[in-house]
Structure 1
C-alpha cells in the first residue's frame, strides 16, 4: 500500500528550475534512496515534502491525504519526521530537552495552562518527559540525557538528532545525508543503527546520501536525479551499472 505519492513535483526559485516533474511512490515498509551529484535537487525534494517549501506545481499525497503546501508542524503531526544534512540541535540545551522540544506540535495544553500552571500543564509535561526518556533509553542515549549535545562526539550528535525525529512517532522518516561528516567507523555504526531502526520501529525510510556504501547496503531501490531531473531508478545493482548515473557522477568510469 502506498504511503507517499509524489506527482509532477516542480520547483522554481526565480528563473531557476531546481526540480522538474519529480514522481515517486513509496510503499509502506520500504527503504528507498535518493541520490545525485551536489546541487541535483535532492534536499529540495525533502524540503517540499516536509513543508519548508511550497511547490510551484505538483502534488504530494501522504497516507491518502493531500499534504501539498502544508506547514512543517502540520506535516509532522501527520507522521513525517526528518533529519538534516547539517545537524540542527540546540547545543546549549540538554539532550533530554532536545528530545522534549520536538513535541511542540503535541503539547496537549495552551498558553493559559502554561501561565497558570494548571493540572493539564503538569500532566502533559510529565507525559512528554516520560516519552522522551523512553526514546533515549531505546536508542541507548539515556546516560547522556543531561549532557549538552556540543559535548558529544559528532557521531553521537547525529544519533541524538535521529532520536529526536523518532520521538514524534513517524510513519515516514526522511534522512538527509545521515553519514555527512562521519568517519569510516561511524559510517559502519550508522548502517547498523539505521537497519536496527528500520526493523525495530517498522518504518518507511527515505534517505538522501552521498556515501554509496550506506545507500547500497540499506536501500531496496534508489532514485537518481541530476539538475533537478530524474535520470535513473532501480535496485542498487542496476544503479551501479547505469551509464547515465556513471556519467552524472564521474563523466566516465564506474561508481
Structure 2
C-alpha cells in the first residue's frame, strides 16, 4: 500500500490499545475495532476537509532488514513534556482559548459539519463549567459573541460538541510540548517522546527514540501544523530533514 500510494498514512492506523500480538509499532491490530463496537476509535483520517501535515510531499519510505524496519524521511517538530501548567494559565486571549477547544474537538470542520462553529469555543467552555464545575474555578474566561438567537445552549448543540470531543479523545491524552504546542496524543505517549512529521503522511505522529531505532506511538493532533504549516518552516530552515528507522 505504501508503494502504491507513495504515502505512509497506513502506519498511523494505530488502535491505541495493548500490543497483544507483539506487532511492529507501525502495524495496527485490526481486531481492535471489534472490541468496542459501540464506541469506535475515530482516527485523524476521518476528516473533512482532510489534514495534510506534510503538504503535497510523497514518501521515500523503504523496507530494510528483511522487512523488519521501515526507513522513512521526516523531521522533528518538538519534544513532549508532562508539565501541563499552560492548561491552567489564565488568559484573555480568545485565540489561545480556541486552540484549547479545537484540540479536544479535532479542529475546525467543513461548513456542512460545523453548524455551530461560530460559537463552539463558548459552547465548549459552557459545557466544561456545567459538567466539571471545579475545573475552571477562579478562571476568568473571555466573552464570546453569540447571535441574538443563541442565548441558550440547545440540546442539539450540546450533543454535537460532546460527540465531537468524545470520539476524538477516546484512548488519547492531552499533551503540551517543550515549546508549548498543544496536542491530543495516544494514551501511551510519555515525557520525552517526539512530535514528528513524516514526508508523505497527512498526520503528525508521536515517535520514541530507542537509540538504534524508533517506535511509532501513533498519530497526534497538534493545532497549527495540521495543514502543512511545518513544511513551510522546514523549507525556511527551522527544521532539519532526517531518516527514521521505525520498528
Using the size of structure 1 for normalisation, the TM-score is: 0.27
Q: Relative contact order, CA 8 A, sep 6+: which one is greater?
A: 2
Using the size of structure 2 for normalisation, the TM-score is: 0.28
Point out the structure with the larger helix share. Answer: 1
